[in-house]
Structure 1
Amino acid sequence: MPTIEITQSGRGGSIYYREQQHVAAFDWQFALPPTLALIFGPTAAAWDGQHPWAAGRQREIYEAVATAAARRRADGAPFALDLERGVIEIAHPRTPNVPRAIQRRRTPAPSPERIEEISVAALREAVNDRLSIDRRLVAAAALHRIDPSFDLERVLARAIRALDRPANGLGRALTLAESHDTPAVRQALLWASWNATDCAPACAALLLKLTGADARAPDDMRRRVLAHLGAHSSYFERRDAFDALRALVGMELDEGGWQE
């Protein structure tokens, strides 16, 4: 039987639809009234390719996710689906003491254009969140799905450079970096590898993978480099490990590229 898990981090989070060994992941964000929350998943064009185990079942799974989210987080509030864009809109719960028939008239299903208008406004607010890197990345990825011209690379690169602890967006940043591999993203990973944080080894490991250096480097050398890039290594250990990393990936740190 399918299960649906809803997690929250700040003003957003993730939703996982699990069916046996298969998982479909969604992101969600609180939105602007009259919408309570927006849920983002694969678009209609991308659904079958990303989830071949559920080919032809996008509507079924979106309805299950929307129903669970509305029931658990919004007191059974109405929702609307835009499968083409991969967006679910959860409305605010019905106002108490107002007849249900009147409430239905007051909350008609929004048009796709209205969903996009609300979602873009909420996401542009979230993408500038100064406290949560994870929230910024959720919003940026969703904006990029709605509007492919949105500059995801810029937001992602800045977020990677700002990583300070694994709980604040590291996993999402690495996932996005792997699927949006560009020179700017690689530079950001190199920068994050030098930062004295607990995120540095994971960023360095992904950079080794993206450049193909992990296949060329001896295992003991790769392990030694990653072990000495952590926050608890001495400056000299990190410096030597970073120099070795630069040699392995064939990159130099472009410090002039970080001017905002």
Structure 2
Amino acid sequence: MDRRGLVWVGIGAVGLGLGIAAAVWNAVQFAVIAGALALVAGVAGARLVVALRAARSTIEELSGEVDHLRGDLDHEASKREDLEQQLSSRIQLTSVRRGTQYDALTDPVTGLFSEGYFTVALEARIASARRNLKPVAVVVMEVIEGLRDGAPHPADATVVAHSIGQTIRESDTACRLMDGGYALVLEDTSETGAIWTVERIRRELSAQAPDLTMWAGVACYPAHGFSTEDVLDRADVALDMAREWRQDRIEVATAE
């Protein structure tokens, strides 16, 4: 009970005491005062009861709202967990897809681009060169070891890739072909520039492994062809000519 309740109980007790005194001493004035105090205490008590009921009702309503909000929060938390799980699954799936795409574009041993990427890059570079009236050089290479010993076999791919990476520019494209060979797309490069680039690669290889033999075929747009197929065919023919030598050889395609 709060202080207001105690006050009205006290007033009621006083009224009760006056009523008893009036009965004992037959005092009318005490009886009137006792009745007035009892009336005031009764009215105040009734109001207090109403106020307590209203407060209890309000508390019950607020408690219901709190329970409802708690339920909403639990529901939102559950939805958030579901969304986080979905997002995590999507991130993992995207990562796997990107990894698969990256694997398809690069050679897993050397880190060079794949043959599929080489074909797309060559078409794009020649199309750009056609628009900008600039040359593009294509180089196909084969590097072997053991030729002098009579047991030729492909050279260590990582050694070749390192030599290529040490030589070409960032704007150039280096790829490893499925047959074990290598291909370069040299942007804004004439046949003279391409020959010099291949020669630098040859020197880098010789410095790392003197027993290596490198054959290379060079063809350029537009000097040796106007389409991707023509330029690549000319480079392949030049490589076949270089293979006829039992030593390092760089052959340049001829225009027909």
TM range (shorter): under 0.3
Superposition TM-score, scaled by structure 1 size? 0.23
Higher relative contact order (CA closer than 8 Å, sequence separation 6+)? 2
Superposition TM-score, scaled by structure 2 size? 0.23
Report which of the two has the higher share of helix: 2
